Amino acid sequence: MKTYNVGYLIGSLARESINRKLANALFKLAPEQLKFKEIPFADLPLYSYDYDADFPQVGRDFKQAIEASDAILIVTPEYNRSIPGALKNALDWASRPWGKNSFAHIPSGVIGTSPGAIGTAVGQQHLRSILGFLNSPQMNSPEAYIQFKDGMINDAGEIADAGTAKFLTGYMKEFHEFIARVQTVLPRGA
């Protein structure tokens, strides 16, 4: 079976981000055909169209990492019923300059965790509208709004609850199948 290189973005810049912990636990549950590589964005300056004529190297590197990926997985918290500002800034960099949108035709998945009862449901919906505008085919089902609770991830970095582990294993299997479908119908460079 074909191996897919999945670039991932962690929406939180916090070193101890629960979403980073979730991402690392997810990778352990993913099919072996998915290879994950983080695409960092903390060093991107605030986007302005003043950069469009001459993108800084950090912006070019960020765009190139997205374009080199077969798919993108975004693991993000919800801030004030939306996405973190740094993540929005990164998406703006990826979509610019006009006509050079790095997300176009790259399949994406969205997941996140929060201590709140509805997880990251509202923030994910906002993110999905942005990804839709960026012409990124999205895995819309299953949706995964994970409430982070103490003990959800054990000291080995694994999902401790069997029911949650089963659900997330299914989520990653569906993400793999989604990538394969999109790559079949919408091959890169076509």
What's the CA gap between 11 and 112, in Å, rounded?
A: 9
Quickly state the pLDDT bin for 37 (edges 50, 70, 90): very high
For range 84-100, the mean pLDDT: 96
pLDDT tens sequence across 97-110: 999 999 999 999 99
Exposed/middle/buried for residue 13 (C-beta within 10 Å: 0-12, 13-18, 19+): middle
Examine the pLDDT at 167 and tell me if it is beyond 90.
Answer: yes
What's the CA gap between 60 and 39, in Å, rounded?
A: 12
For range 91-95, the mean pLDDT: 98
Strand-pairing partners, residue 37, are 7
For range 70-80, the mean pLDDT: 95
pTM of the model: 0.95
Q: How many CB atoms lie within 10 A of CB 135?
A: 12
